[in-house]
Structure 1
């Protein structure tokens, strides 16, 4: 299945019966408390059902024949009040139990979704907007919570109550009770009609809400660019368009709710009341009727439609929850996970020697971004990757970190195919330093310990000293306990980079991967960072992407990439002597105009194209 088909499945609705059964499966760990809650529910329902029967006994056996013996009347009154208070107490306890179970279930669903997202492959995040993911983890799970808290417990309670009402009706008048049974198919058809029509609207609402979250997330992350280029009005128009579509979907559902929910049920209840009164009216012409029976039957009829109304009013929540659950389960069922280990054994990375052998790769399965890449890096050596934007440098690192599947060719670490290693082993033995280091909200110490929470304070301090981060950390208010804002916004770019170095060195990796580690720092700070990098690289296999060629002069091997292929390789001196693409790039950065003008970039590119 190609990437497009995989992505489209994330947005397709699932069969609602399957979704509902799957939601119910989350109740299995809570069967004991559910059983207790159901038992209490039956007791509470029985207490509510018996009330009108006691009133019927009072009217027909005491009020109509005018018998006012104190003791039986007192017992009837005490029984009626006792049933009422018992019903209130039991209802409170059983509702508390149902909702407690519901909250535990939704807590588990949220954990499942979050865990799933954490284990999805990077290819998934390349295509799925962050805001849409946030919407599924927060908004959709919150809607599912409403299903468990507000709907299921209410439905169970009302269904039990309806069963009790019909039992009482049959006790009072079998013929009329059979007549009332015909109301059930009518109400069932009404519910099915509502579910069928509303599912489309709620699916559209959920999707538009995801788009709203995605637009908000994108706007906040790109706020600097938006304000620099004064695009606030354009972003507002785009947001307004999505928001308007969301509102229209809501209005459609409101119109449907206004027609098929309470008004429709109220109309059916009025017709039922007219027919019941007509029945008793016709019956009274031929034989006397008991007033108590008439009162109890009308009371039960009224009580019959109240739970029906409650169920119908919550049907919209039920429908929204099923749509949201469908979206959540689609995410949980998505199989675009990180590449996993293959083969037997538990190999360990010791030296950290790397070999790429005829490696080709495509993100979309159609266009290769890497073509027959081959190179070796021994322990303690530094291999630098240079080339124009889009030449494939980052793709090589992505494959070395085993972020993407579908690699053609072989990648070895210590002579063992990379797919024979556990993910934990790879992540423990590889240290990654990015161009724009990502720091998390928390303290300086927590960020340095992020890869290994078992580190002691001394380990953290030693790692910071190793990369020359200790002096600036001590100057922060709070030192290692200083709070860091989102993405390290309270620190300079150089300070963020030094902290990322400390975090990496605390891991003590065998392989060091540097992705433009000095690209975003000033010249003065670059000197400190370069010293830190030199210390970090000692005794480790290093693969570094660099735009500043001055930072890789001492690399053991430099690979020059062009359109996904290695077109030149060697150390700095050898590549300068070759007078090829690397030489031209170096002259451009050094600003030697006379030499630059002697040979144009196009000549180098043409030469490269001929060689490849």
Structure 2
């Protein structure tokens, strides 16, 4: 498992600016959110003023008619405030969800185009965290962060303006406490910034660990690793818990302090105002005191909430930094050519191809190889010889260090990746199936391939009866990774998937190893049918399956050491293939005995 380290966001304004680009298609909705925010601030500030007027002019004078009118007026203002609050929250959340929907689609599409080298070095759990959890954090920038801060700031400005207009002395008393709350808010914000970064890092680590262990649960149980993995999980979970506890601690300290400051300020205003009324101060009225008991929470709560909303903003900024870090990885994106690859004749040429997964450690060392159209060639060799790497290079999963690979005389780098891979089908030893029906796993939801096409192809290569023997036939759900099927049955599905795509070039990568006798017979029939009339490359572990290949390429330590037909190689004195073949033959004979 690759453990993610804690990093600090580099540039908050830059991240927000990038996010705002995703808001451009929703300009009108953005404007309505601002309008409702302004309306909410205005209606919220009017209510205390109406309370002052009610107390001073009608309650103190016992004017029931005027009192009833102002009570109704306050009710109407309250209804408008509630309506503004509803539309503000609804539209802000709607806007945030649409923005993250677009961002998630862009991120997933971007990841889809990364080179295989990127996935070799990145943990799956980390990418899941980025695509799901981090993007949800970004949604809160709009729903709980940015717009809420704008709304609270507007509300504070309007309220302060009305307060100074109503009674500047009482307002100055209120302002005495404001710096203390601002300082406390700033300290809280800085502490929470570091806490949120740590939380996101630990969430990614936790997701990565859990994803890997659930995926590899068979290995965990097979080797009795349950207790060991549980201990590892508890340690990672403890770090995750500690990160959140730090977050909780800061909240537990700040919000009581903010409440104390607000309560003390309210008490000071009531004392000062009441003292002024008793002393005959004409600037202060009973209505002012009623209004200020409403104004102070409305002024302090937004400031207190702004700190909380800054936390949401901070978490969203941390998440957006991580998201844009992936989106900015242009060097990880596979380069695509401009030519459309139509049906190939299938002539392949490898000219002095060199490749290394790690710089300075070549695994393919100057290979030159020619394959004629329609030929079936086999590539054999010991583990680590470079057999599968050749296939990865042909499909451009990795870019070669030097040399050229051509198909029908054209460098594969000149073809559009999608069209190139459309003409090459691969059947791997480890077949991956999605949690879906058999027909969807074969077509991969390609609308150009119908169910009738799949059935016709299954009959052609002899696997129709096998599929129909399953509950539901072609609509049978194989569950995650095809666990409802045996390895041989998954291989048959992979053969059908390759055949129905009608490729120009077919690759079988250890596709006949580790299967039962019944499946082997079906696969042998399918292989004969699927390789008919097209260029085929077979990477074989069991040498008995490739004796009829047009040419056998023998590899060792990244080089071609022999090539020829089975009979040419088997008759070569002290040949590498001959030794490999007979050692395997003897081993299989011993197993049968």
Paired position in structure 2 for 1:602 = none
Aligned-pair distance for 1:503? 0.9
TM-score normalized by the length of structure 1: 0.90
Q: Measure how far apart 1:119 and its partner are.
A: 1.6
Task: Say which of 59, 62, 76 aligns to 1:63.
Answer: 59
Instruction: Tell me the CA shift for residue 402 of structure 1.
Output: 0.3
Does residue 272 in structure 1 map to residue 268 in structure 2? no
Contact 2:113 2:334 in 1 (8 A): no
Aligned-pair Cα RMSD in Å = 2.5
1:321 to 316, 321, 328: 316
Q: Is the 8 A contact 2:393 2:400 kept in 1?
A: no
CA displacement at 1:310 relative to structure 2 = 2.5
Q: Is the 8 A contact 2:387 2:555 kept in 1?
A: yes
Partner of 1:333: 328
Counterpart check, 1:43 vs 2:39: yes
Residue 255 (structure 2) aligns with = 262
Cα deviation code 1:89-138 (max 9, x no counterpart)? 23222322222222222222222222222221111111111111112222
Structure 1 residue 74: deviation in Å?
3.0
Report the counterpart of residue 24 of structure 2 in structure 1.
28
What is residue 292 of structure 2 aligned with on the other side? Answer: 297
Q: Mean alpha-carbon deviation: is it higher for 279-288 or for 30-39?
A: 279-288
Give the corresponding residue for 1:389. Answer: 383
Preserved contact between residue 123 and residue 336 of structure 1 (Cα < 8 Å): no
Q: Quick one: distance in 2 between partners of 1:19 and 1:189?
A: 26
Q: 1:200 to 1:366 in 2, by over 3 A?
A: farther
The answer to whether the 8 A contact 1:380-1:542 is kept is yes
SS of the equivalent of 1:389 reads: coil
Structure 1 counterpart of 2:576: 581
Aligned to 1:606: none
The whole-number CA distance in structure 2 between the counterparts of 1:350 and 1:10 is 49
**Matches of 1:409 and 1:184, distance apart in 2:** 70
Note if contact 1:385-1:558 (Cα within 8 Å) is conserved in structure 2.
Answer: yes
Segments of 5+ residues of structure 2 without an aligned counterpart are none
Are the aligned partners of 2:6 and 2:198 in contact in 1 as well (CA < 8 Å)?
A: no
The 1-side partners of 2:552 and 2:183 are apart by 73
Which aligned pairs between 1:234-273 and structure 2 lie closer than 5 A?
234-259=228-253, 261-273=254-266
The answer to whether the 8 A contact 1:124-1:336 is kept is no
Q: Given the superposition, is the C-alpha separation of residues 9 and 25 from structure 1 closer, same or farther in structure 2, using an over 3 Å criterion?
A: farther
Alignment partner for residue 414 of structure 2, among 401, 416, 420? 420
Q: How many angstroms does 1:347 deviate by?
A: 5.3
Mark the CA change 1:593 to 1:474 in structure 2 (over 3 Å): closer, same or farther.
closer
The answer (yes or no) to whether the contact 2:170–2:273 under 8 Å persists in 1 is no
State whether structure 2 residue 220 is matched by structure 1 residue 202: no
d(CA) in 2 for partners of 1:190, 1:116? 42
Secondary structure at the counterpart of residue 484 of structure 1 = coil
Q: Find the aligned partners of 2:442 and 2:6 in 1 and give their Cα distance.
A: 36
The answer to whether the 8 A contact 2:463-2:522 is kept is no
TM-superposed CA distance for 1:563, in Å, is: 1.1
Contact 2:342 2:423 in 1 (8 A): no
Q: After superposition, what is the alpha-carbon deviation per residue over 1:304-324, rounded to whole angstroms, capped at 9, x for unaligned?
A: 112223333344333222222
**Residue in structure 1 matched with residue 224 of structure 2 by the alignment:** 230
Change (3 A) 1:12 1:427: farther
1:567 aligns with 2:555: no
Residue 450 of structure 1 pairs with residue 450 of structure 2: no
Pairs aligned (count): 585
The equivalent residue for 1:608 is none
Q: Secondary structure at the match of 2:119?
A: helix
Deviates more, 1:150-159 or 1:546-555: 150-159
- Distance apart, 1:340 and its partner CA: 1.9
Give yes or no for contact 1:10–1:330 (8 Å, CA) kept in 2. Answer: no
Whole-Å separation in 1 of the counterparts to 2:302 and 2:334: 52
Q: Which residue of 2 aligns with 1:603?
A: none
* Shift in CA distance, 471/87, structure 1 to aligned 2, threshold 3 Å: same
Choose the corresponding residue for 2:490, options 488, 492, 496.
496
Offset at residue 332 of structure 1 (A): 2.0
Give runs of aligned pairs for residues 153-552 of structure 1, distance below 5 A.
Answer: 153-174=147-168, 176-177=170-171, 180=174, 186-259=180-253, 261-273=254-266, 276-277=269-270, 280=273, 285=279, 287-288=281-282, 289-342=284-337, 345-346=339-340, 348-450=342-444, 452-552=446-546
CA distance in 2, matches of 1:185, 1:563: 72
CA distances 1:517-545 after superposition (whole Å, capped 9, x unpaired) = 10121233212212211211111111221
User: What SS does the aligned partner of 2:330 have?
Assistant: coil
TM-score for both structures, normalised by structure 2: 0.92
| CA distance, structure 1, for counterparts of residue 449 and residue 24 of structure 2 | 39
State the 1:59 CA deviation. Answer: 2.2
Structure 1 stretches lacking a partner, 5+ long: 595-612
Paired residues of 1:209 and 1:246 also in contact (CA < 8 A): yes
